[in-house]
Amino acid sequence: MTERLICLACLVIGYGFGLLQVAHIYSKAKNINIREKGSGNAGTTNMFRVMGIKAGIITLVGDCAKLVAAVIFTKLIFLTGLGFQIDPTALALYTGLGCVLGHDFPFYFHFKGGKGMASTAALVCCLGNWQMILIGVAVFFGIVIATKYVSLGSMITVCTEFVLFILFTQIGWFPLQSAWMPDCYILFFLLAALLVFQHRKNINRLMNHKETRFYFRTSSQIKEEEAAHRENQTNAKIEHVQQKAEKKMDKLQYKAEKKIANAQNKAELVQTKLEQVQNKADYKYRKVQLKAELKEEKTRNWAGKIADHAPKSFRLQDENPQQNLLEDKEPIDLPEGEEQTAPEEQKEE
């Protein structure tokens, strides 16, 4: 029971060592936030991609060193100093698992850290089996060189190491106390499963053929690429501004054309209304004129009828009998001589 508690203490100590984020510290010293560059991962691979070979090597050495330091620290305290009877491999695995957890899930970064490949590789080295180390190195670099995918090489390597660990402990190539075998198998499985889990986004990108390939680049090449990237971003912004300006111009032109069209439509409507009003006025005028003509014609007909029934002397008095009737004049008796001459004048007419 005491040994299990000591192992849990080693897990906590390892977590404390794992909280040292080498990538974040180094990138901050260079005024770069590695969590905002590249893949956003504070690990060795992203440091190689973003900041070059030097930064990547420093991060790799730092991540490996913190795990080695944690394992040495726990062994010196609990095995050498206090003399507990704990298998060294089990102690290393407990401490290493804690260190990887601290690297992957630092509490002060909201539990968002690296992926733990460098620390896991350092843990395999701490186990001290040179066959596992050589096979792991060969598998990792073989896959990376062939595919240029570091994530794929990391996942296959850690799974290979897990299988080799079980195989070597069973055939006696790896000394391990039988009482600690279940613990060691579970711990190694958790390490492998944790690394694969941390690469879940990479797995998705690999399946969709969108994973970024890895290439070694010098700092000068990175600067040139960053300058080209900034230039591309600037050009993209300029194009975006131009597109916005063109859209605004098109919008304003459309609004102006729409206003002009509305004004023309309104003018046409006004003109149509004026024409309608004028047509109505002409119609009314013609109607009134026609009524006046009809009335005048009726009046003439009526006056003609009256004149036809009037005496001859009254009809000869004036050439316009209608006017005489309207003026209401009395008929004048003409002399006899005029009555005789009147028919003759009428005949001559």
Cβ neighbours for 281, distance < 8 A, ≥ 6 positions apart: none
- For the four alpha carbons of 153, 155, 161 and 164, in that order, the dihedral sign comes to negative
pLDDT digits (tens, 9 = 90+) for 14-25: 999 999 888 888
Domain total of the chain:
1
- Of 170, 223, 167, 201, the residue nearest 54 (C-alpha): 223
Is position 304 within any domain?
no
Residue 53 is predicted with a pLDDT of 82
Residue 329 is predicted with a pLDDT of 47
pLDDT digits (tens, 9 = 90+) for 205-260: 889 888 878 766 655 656 666 677 678 888 888 888 888 888 888 888 888 888 89
pLDDT digits (tens, 9 = 90+) for 125-149: 998 889 999 999 999 999 988 888 8
Is position 228 within any domain?
no
Angle at 82 between CA 80 and CA 87, to 5 degrees: 60
Is position 127 within any domain?
yes
Is position 312 within any domain?
no
The parent domain of residue 33 ranges over 2-217
| pLDDT confidence band for 93 (50 / 70 / 90) | very high
Is position 21 within any domain?
yes
Is position 109 within any domain?
yes
Is position 342 within any domain?
no
Q: In this structure, what token pair is assigned to residue 140?
A: 């990792």
Is position 240 within any domain?
no
The whole-angstrom separation of Cα 19 and Cα 69 is 13
